[in-house]
């Protein structure tokens, strides 16, 4: 049977297990043999039993589990030529030249580089005598299909990425819990949420949690934001509100690119309002725990579609990402989505916030 690999890479995200399960079972149904590449690209670089066949039962009872049962890692070796050569060799030892990669924007970018390098890597392996010219000729191209798994929701083109909805649930549970203690003491809480360079989690949590102020990287506040924030919080208090909540994305900056941390916000409140605000950094609880219903079913549909795609794609054709877009499961061109995601980041870095929003909206 045709052999395909599945791996999860980068930060884990709730729902990755549902996607892995769907890839494995769809592949088996289609008569293929799926393999797990354990610990993300690190497993491919390491080889040995880090690449192992999976049967139907290996992915039983995992739908409801957080994290990823096949492990994940951020793998610096895979960025080097030597690491990529080792990964190619180890995949070929199992006859694998088709892969479903579930990971964030960085992981998919690395995957695309590896795919492009594949023919050159095989030529080097032939030259060093590690594979025969016949083996290289039998696997002329690497077929990859991506699924975006990241709580950050930072890939242009996808409505939601795996884990984002569950992370938002986690954040909202925390905000609700903090609200009651904040109200008792008439306190302001400053809550820092994850998202790396993306403010999606912060913005949506602020809207869904009824928060007073939010700081996100995509729209750094104008000079004088401290005064604006304090005025809004004071107005809330005057209107009878007992608790206040400011959400700070971990990647929030001012317009000069300097980070604004939760502690900075706390200091502003102390200096200007004489308030002793409390800071809560939610951290990895956001990535932990059970996947939401949404993440389970969406990841299942993405996994089924990705397995079908990777098994039927012609070698040498442009790779795609399977993502939910406009409420449908769609095939998006991988390289184009990666390019568009980078463009948004570059526009933000250059201070063209409106351009970034427009680029994200139209890609």
Main-chain dihedrals φ then ψ at residue 155, nearest 5 degrees = -100, 125
Asked whether position 209 contacts ligand F6P by CB under 6 A, the answer is no
Helix (H, G, I), strand (E, B) or coil at 276: coil
Asked whether position 83 contacts ligand F6P by CB under 6 A, the answer is no
Stretch that binds ligand F6P, among 150-158, 268-276, 295-303, 305-313 (CB under 6 A): 150-158
Stretch that binds ligand F6P, among 65-73, 194-202, 206-214, 218-226 (CB under 6 A): 194-202
Contact assessment for residue 164 and residue 153, using Cβ atoms and an 8 Å cutoff: yes
Task: Annotate each residue in 297-336 with x if it binds ligand F6P (CB under 6 A) or - if it does not, as one string.
Answer: ----------------------------------------
When the beta carbons of 152 and 165 are compared against ligand F6P, the nearer one is 152
In whole angstroms, the minimum distance from the beta carbon of 105 to ligand F6P comes to 9
Asked whether position 217 contacts ligand F6P by CB under 6 A, the answer is no
- Beta partners for residue 36, in sequence order: 6, 52
Asked whether position 149 contacts ligand F6P by CB under 6 A, the answer is no
Asked whether position 152 contacts ligand F6P by CB under 6 A, the answer is yes
Asked whether position 195 contacts ligand F6P by CB under 6 A, the answer is yes
Exactly one of 97, 105, 152, 212 is catalytic; which is it?
A: 152
Number of residues that bind ligand F6P (CB under 6 A): 10
Site for ligand F6P in 87-106 (CB under 6 A): 104
When the beta carbons of 243 and 250 are compared against ligand F6P, the nearer one is 250
Asked whether position 194 contacts ligand F6P by CB under 6 A, the answer is yes
Q: Where are the beta strands (DSSP E) in the chain?
A: 3-9, 33-37, 51-53, 98-103, 143-148, 188-193, 213-215, 244-249, 278-281, 320-325, 328-333
Asked whether position 43 contacts ligand F6P by CB under 6 A, the answer is no
In whole angstroms, the minimum distance from the beta carbon of 250 to ligand F6P comes to 6
Contact assessment for residue 198 and residue 152, using Cβ atoms and an 8 Å cutoff: yes
Share in percent of the chain as helix, strand, coil (round to 5)? 50, 15, 35
Concatenated DSSP letters of 82-145: HHHHHHHHHHHHTT--EEEEEE-HHHHHHHHHHHHHHHHHHHHHHHTTSS-HHHHHH--S-EEE
Tokens 């949420």 belong to which residue?
Answer: 193
Helix (H, G, I), strand (E, B) or coil at 295: helix
* Residue 152 bears catalytic tag: yes
Residues that bind ligand F6P (CB under 6 A): 11, 104, 150-152, 194-196, 250, 287
Catalytic residues: 152
């Amino acid at each position: 049977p045709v052999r395909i690999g599945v791996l999860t890479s980068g930060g884990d995200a709730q729902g990755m297990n549902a996607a892995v399960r769907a890839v494995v079972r769809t592949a088996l149904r289609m008569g293929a043999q799926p393999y797990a590449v354990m610990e993300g690209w690190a497993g491919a670089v390491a080889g040995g039993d880090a690449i192992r066949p999976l049967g139907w039962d290996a992915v039983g009872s995992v739908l409801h589990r957080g994290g990823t049962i096949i492990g994940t890692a951020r793998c610096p070796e895979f960025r080097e030529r030597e690491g990529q050569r080792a990964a190619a060799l180890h995949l070929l030892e199992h006859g694998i030249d088709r892969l479903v990669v579930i990971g964030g924007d960085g992981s998919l970018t690395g995957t695309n580089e590896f795919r492009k390098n594949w023919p050159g890597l095989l030529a080097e392996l032939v030259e060093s005598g590690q594979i025969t010219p016949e083996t290289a000729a039998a696997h002329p191209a690497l077929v990859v299909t991506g699924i975006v798994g990241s709580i950050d929701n930072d890939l242009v083109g996808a409505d939601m990425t795996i884990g984002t909805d569950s992370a938002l649930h986690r954040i909202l549970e925390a905000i609700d819990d903090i609200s009651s203690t904040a109200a008792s003491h008439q306190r302001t809480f400053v809550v820092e949420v994850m998202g790396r360079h993306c403010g999606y989690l912060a913005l949506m949590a602020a809207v869904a949690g009824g928060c007073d102020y939010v700081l996100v990287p995509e729209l750094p506040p104008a000079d004088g934001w401290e005064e604006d924030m304090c005025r809004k919080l004071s107005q809330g208090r005057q209107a009878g509100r007992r608790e206040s909540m400011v959400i700070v994305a971990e990647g929030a900056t001012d317009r000069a690119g300097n980070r604004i941390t939760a502690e900075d916000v706390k200091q502003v409140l102390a200096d200007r309002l004489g308030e002793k605000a409390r800071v809560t950094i939610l951290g990895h609880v956001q990535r932990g725990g059970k996947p939401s219903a949404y993440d389970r079913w969406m990841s299942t549909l993405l996994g089924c579609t990705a397995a079908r795609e990777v098994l039927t794609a012609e070698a040498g054709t442009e790779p795609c990402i399977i993502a939910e877009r406009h409420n449908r499961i769609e095939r998006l061109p991988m390289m184009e989505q990666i390019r568009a995601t980078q463009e948004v980041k570059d526009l933000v870095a250059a201070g063209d916030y409106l351009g970034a929003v427009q680029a994200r909206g139209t890609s």
